[in-house]
Amino acid sequence: MARTAKYFGLVPAGGAGRRFGGKTPKQYAILGAHTVLEHSVQALLADPRVEKVFVVVAQGDSTAESLFEGNLQVKCLPVAGAERANTVLNALNHLLQNFMVNETDWILVHDAARPGLSPIALKTLMDQASEHVVGGLLAVPVADTLKRVVVAEEGEVIAQHTVPRDQLWAAQTPQMFRAQALNMAISECLYKGLALTDDASAIETMGIGPLIVPGHVENMKITQADDLRIVAKLLGLNQENPQ
């Protein structure tokens, strides 16, 4: 008889941080007293149901391994791929093929670049998405008016027209789905050459809508350099002289 489904974190941390710039990839930038990655991993471990967090890094990246040395709740997998979707798929393949997770276990995919995830948002997502047919994700309703633009030859960005925002939400992470379902959905999409910027979009192509659970602004993604200062402010962390 199959055991009860467990919960595992999967943190894609294999990006180069091109938009962030600088020599240190943003997942290893210092935020308060720890790296961005450590904050993001600890945020997942805030819920006792999360058994283990798998941190997926680029081959040869030993930084994460040293950050979590001795922490039995964290395991680093050097199987990151060319894009975020490849990283997630490579990790899922590794975990399933090595029987480290069961096909029906819940996988919480959470960006290493989102250190501000709150325990209550994580709990709400796990409580609600686990009751949904396919799973779900954190997202926040779009509050700004959105413009579709064109970029002129001189580089000027020109508004073409306004995009109705009444049914638009901005996806965050974690995005929580069953291991094998997500594995198959991403694999199918990549085989078809579909570009995936998140995990839910792969599930959506299977014809099932994931549950949206309201997130919070503090869970923003660190993308540009100044985002580190903004997130530090949102989290009330001293960023003047990061340790």
Ligand X SMILES: C[C@](O)(CO)[C@H](O)COP(=O)(O)O
Q: What is the closest distance, in whole angstroms, from the C-beta atom of residue 221 to ligand CTP in the complex?
A: 6
112 scored as a contact of ligand CTP (CB under 6 A): yes
- Of the candidate residues 19, 49, 147, 229, the single one contacting ligand CTP (CB under 6 A): 19
210 scored as a contact of ligand CTP (CB under 6 A): no
- Of the candidate residues 7, 9, 10, 14, the single one contacting ligand CTP (CB under 6 A): 14
# residues near ligand X by CB under 6 A: 8
- Of the candidate residues 110, 221, 222, 228, the single one contacting ligand X (CB under 6 A): 221
Q: What is the closest distance, in whole angstroms, from the C-beta atom of residue 4 to ligand CTP in the complex?
A: 29
Q: What is the closest distance, in whole angstroms, from the C-beta atom of residue 143 to ligand X in the complex?
A: 16
171 scored as a contact of ligand X (CB under 6 A): yes
| Upper half-sphere CA count for residue 47 (Cβ side, 13 Å) | 22
87 scored as a contact of ligand CTP (CB under 6 A): yes
Residue 171 near which of ligand X, ligand CTP, none (CB within 5-8 Å, type-dependent):
ligand X
* C-beta of 93 vs 128, nearer to ligand CTP: 93
110 scored as a contact of ligand X (CB under 6 A): no
Residue 18 near which of ligand CTP, ligand X, none (CB within 5-8 Å, type-dependent):
ligand CTP
Radius of gyration in angstroms for the set of CA atoms belonging to the chain, rounded to a whole number: 18
* Residue 74, CA distances (Å) to 81, 102, 113, 145 in order: 20, 18, 17, 40
Q: Are 15 and 59 in contact (CB under 8 A)?
A: no
27 scored as a contact of ligand CTP (CB under 6 A): yes
77 scored as a contact of ligand X (CB under 6 A): no
* C-beta of 17 vs 32, nearer to ligand X: 17
* C-beta of 26 vs 52, nearer to ligand X: 26
For residues 26 and 36, what is the distance between their CA atoms, to the nearest angstrom? 7
> Which H, E and C letters describe the chain, residue by residue?
CCCCCCEEEEEECCCCCCCCCCCCCHHHCEECCEEHHHHHHHHHHCCCCEEEEEEECCCCCCHHHHHCCCCCCEEEECCCCCCHHHHHHHHHHHHHHCCCCCCCCEEEECCCCCCCCCHHHHHHHHHHHCCCCCEEEEEEECCCCEEEEEECCCCCEEEEEEECCCCCEEEEEEEEEEHHHHHHHHHHHHHCCCCCCCCHHHHHCCCCCCEEEECCHHHCCCCCCCHHHHHHHHHCCCCCCCC
105 scored as a contact of ligand X (CB under 6 A): no
Which parts of this chain interact with ligand X (CB under 6 A)?
Answer: 84, 111, 171-173, 197-198, 221
Which parts of this chain interact with ligand CTP (CB under 6 A)?
Answer: 12-20, 27, 56, 80-84, 87, 111-113, 221, 223
